[in-house]
Chain A
Amino acid sequence: MIQFAQVCKRYPNGQDALRNVDLEIKAGEMAFLTGHSGAGKSTMLKLISLMERATSGQVIINGKNLNRIKRRKIPSIRRDIGMIFQDHRLLFDRSVFDNVALPLMIAGYDHREIGRRVRAALDKVGLLSKEKNTPIMLSGGEQQRVGIARAVVNKPPLLLADEPTGNLDPELSAEIMKLFEQFNQVGVSLLIASHDLSLLAQMHYRTLVMKESRLVQDQIDDVLEVDDSFEQDNDTNLVRSADEF
């Protein structure tokens, strides 16, 4: 599903965000991406969704080499990827229903099909009763669930989530993770970036650890061997990122 081969990413300002990253995530797999703030997690997700291009190396998504994808073809690649953001990225002047319907409208579904699928997705995240509200009327956890409904509504085979629980308390975070597990059980591949170690400790999934732009650990079993330096880094980063919000 996702293949990285010797991928490097250097931003125009000279900042190296990824250095020689090799990675493979198979179809139907669910994996976490962790590491301290600035390690390159978001950059990796941006390369997959073509928000950024690799400086060198190959990124292959679902058999398509993204280096060869022309600008014109980017939308059709993105339609096959559900994206979930820390800040939800909802449209605040439209109803919950319209927000979730957006990917279907773009793909040109007919309106009966749109109604059916949007309600199914909202039902899945437990927000069927709020379809007429605007996102402003919802809590942070509910807004995130709207974002998730939008990401899954056209049944993409791959979901990417960048700090999806960053703003949520542990209980709500666990709920969101449960949703992800359910999607994974019906065959969706997921890559979830998070530096919430306590959350990861509860989940028994493959975990990729990044440090200073490199992939330093790829742990398939459930015991995360985190070195001291990372743990320390991460604590300070939790505080720092809490300030950012």
Chain B
Amino acid sequence: MSSESGAILHEGATISARFKMLLRLHKLEARRGLAEIVDNPISNFMTVLVIAIALALPAGLQVLLENGKTLSQSWDGASRISLYLKLNVSNSQTEHLAKSIKDNPAIDSVEVIYPEQALKDFSASSGFADALAELDSNPLPPTLVVQPNVNHTSPLASETLLSEFKQFELVEKAQLDLDWVRKLHALLELAEKAASALGLALGLAVLLIVGNTIRLSVQNRREEIEVVKLVGATDAFIRRPFLYTGFWYGLLAGVLCWLILEVSLIWLHQPVQNLAGLYQSEFAISSLNIKQSFQLVGISCALGLLGSWLSVGRHIRNIEPR
């Protein structure tokens, strides 16, 4: 009576028969794992919902960030060049220069800001109106805000234009207005780091939630596990339906999370479009594509499986038949 006697299959079983048997066993256990969830719909729905929300937070943030990045890319092109002219340049000279720049095919538009206008704007916005009124002469230079057309907005083209403008005799200082774009990028990068940290923390939370739920269901089945051990079940055999339960939690939560995100994004669609309209932008918020959707559900399944795997082995091991 070797321990392997009679086990597995009767004599002459082919590989494919073995495989079919294994498949059948897994199907049975997958169903038993799912039944575990279906038998107790309310409390299990709560678990699935909690997992889904925990996943929706970082995933939603990630989607918004992706949208932010597309938006900032479309703004990269909007790099304007500010030309600060020498203080003694007259208004007609300024106008003349603006016209000649505008003739350049690389330039879309030129906005002229005369010193008087600039001073008025500044004293209105700065709150130093009284102090500025004391000044003898206007310290602000005439300024041209140059908008290159779309074909000349790459960093390189902008730099070329910039050095060209610096040659102009009337120009005191030429400045590429990329600063705020750079700041936006830095901000997005920071937000991305924060999203990763949040994702990590909430992923850990999902592992704990699944692990704890599985621990409870192992405890509820203590007697059954004892019996199954008495008739010779290995820990691996006992573990399997619980692993499937974890997997199902992950799958259901992943799909629910996807639904939550889709609904939220549809809900955001109109307000975002309204906002974009105010800025004459075509920007529309985009939701998850197919690949990202599968990634989301896949990660969720993996977390469910991992959470139950981390928990089930330990707790099954502690149950010994009496």
A residues whose Cβ falls under 8 Å from a Cβ of B:
49, 51, 62, 73, 75-80, 83, 89-91, 93, 102-103, 105-111, 113, 150, 154-157
Known: A89-B227, A91-B224. A78 touches B9 (CB 8 A): no
Measured CB to CB, the closest approach of chain B to A70, in angstroms, equals 13
Q: How many residues of B are in contact with the other chain, CB < 8 A?
A: 29
Known: A78-B231, A103-B231. A110 touches B1 (CB 8 A): no
Interface residues of B in 259-311 (CB under 8 A from A): none
Tell which of A79, A91, A150, A157 touches B7, judged by Cβ atoms closer than 8 Å.
A79
Given contacts A51-B230, A89-B226, A93-B224, 13 further A-B contacts (CB under 8 A): A51-B322, A76-B232, A78-B231, A78-B232, A80-B5, A103-B232, A106-B233, A106-B237, A107-B8, A109-B7, A109-B21, A110-B17, A110-B20
Contact B227 A75 (CB under 8 A): no
- Chain B residue nearest in CB terms to A51: B321
Contact A110 B10 (CB under 8 A): yes
Contact A109 B3 (CB under 8 A): no
B24 at the interface (CB under 8 A from A): yes
The 10 A-B residue pairs with the shortest CB-CB distance in the complex, in nearest-first order? A76-B3, A79-B232, A78-B232, A107-B7, A110-B21, A75-B234, A103-B231, A106-B233, A75-B232, A108-B8
Most chain A beta carbons < 10 A, residue from B17, B226, B320: B320
Number of A-B pairs whose CB atoms are under 8 Å? 78
Distance of A104 Cα from B40 Cα, bound (Å):
29
Distance of A110 Cα from B321 Cα, bound (Å):
27
Contact B10 A106 (CB under 8 A): no
**Cross-chain pairs A/B with CB under 8 angstroms, 17 sampled:** A51-B320, A51-B321, A75-B232, A78-B229, A79-B231, A79-B232, A80-B1, A89-B226, A102-B227, A106-B232, A106-B234, A106-B237, A107-B8, A110-B10, A110-B20, A110-B24, A155-B6
- Chain B residue nearest in CB terms to A62: B1
Interface residues of B in 230-255 (CB under 8 A from A): 230-234, 237
- Chain A residue nearest in CB terms to B10: A113
Measured CB to CB, the closest approach of chain B to A137, in angstroms, equals 19
Contact A83 B21 (CB under 8 A): no
